[in-house]
Chain A
Amino acid sequence: DAGVIQSPRHEVTEMGQEVTLRCKPISGHDYLFWYRQTMMRGLELLIYFNNNVPIDDSGMPEDRFSAKMPNASFSTLKIQPSEPRDSAVYFCASSYLTSGRETQYFGPGTRLLVL
């Protein structure tokens, strides 16, 4: 398996622009997670899905952030409008719930810079 795939790997945009991050989870996994990593706040869970349904979005910082999972093999995280404080590395992770063996596998991350 190719692992969790994220695109783009790097994104540079200007303040006010819309940014869309993409994720393809590992085939067969039923949980998908979006994390953000910054120097100030470390690794934070933004939102996660179970069988394409959002379960907990309490980590989403504000209404400018939205996430969707239209099918089991694709998810997006959108920021509109983007701000410089959104600059961070965004990770997508997926897992498969089997009793006692659930482990999250992370994608390579998207490094976002908002100017």
Chain B
Amino acid sequence: AQTVTQSQPEMSVQEAETVTLSCTYDTSESDYYLFWYKQPPSRQMILVIRQEAYKQQNATENRFSVNFQKAAKSFSLKISDSQLGDAAMYFCAYRGAGGTSYGKLTFGQGTILTVHP
């Protein structure tokens, strides 16, 4: 079974600074997708960024970028120029591209990000 681990229960950053959230996963599959979701206090789950495992290039979305290390099974999220609105719980998630895990998202435990003004 696939597992996703976020080893940082809480992180904090100063406004305008950069912060990196860590995520590792365990899988025997060769093809899969990885995601970072943001959950603000409203509880809405918002997709931040996604990465296809077959792509070597790291995904970027404006101030958000990932460092995807397939061999190490590591998928970290970097937030540049942090803003107060980035404060939220961040979840790393895995989805297999086929087989019995197809369509199923497996989530990590989450990291609470606090942004200080």
Contacts and interface: CB of A to CB of B under 8 A. Distances in A.
Interface of A: 31, 33, 35, 42-43, 45, 48, 50, 55-56, 89, 91, 93, 95, 100, 102-106, 108-109, 111
B74 to A, nearest CB: 20
Interface stretch (B12-20, B22-30, B44-52, B64-72): B44-52
A50 B103 contact: yes
Interface residues of B, number: 22
Given A42-B109, A42-B110, A103-B50, A109 B103 contact: no
**Chain A contact residues: over half helix, strand or loop, or mixed?**
strand
B6 to A, nearest CB: 10
**Chain B contact residues: over half helix, strand or loop, or mixed?**
strand
15 contacts: A33-B103, A42-B107, A42-B110, A43-B91, A55-B103, A56-B103, A91-B45, A102-B95, A103-B50, A104-B47, A105-B47, A106-B37, A106-B46, A108-B44, A111-B43
A77 to B, nearest CB: 16
Contacts of B104: 45, 48, 56
Contacts of B43: 89, 108-109, 111
B41 to A, nearest CB: 12
A56 B104 CA distance: 9
A-B interface, 4 closest residue pairs, ranked by CB to CB distance from nearest:
A106-B45, A43-B107, A109-B43, A108-B44
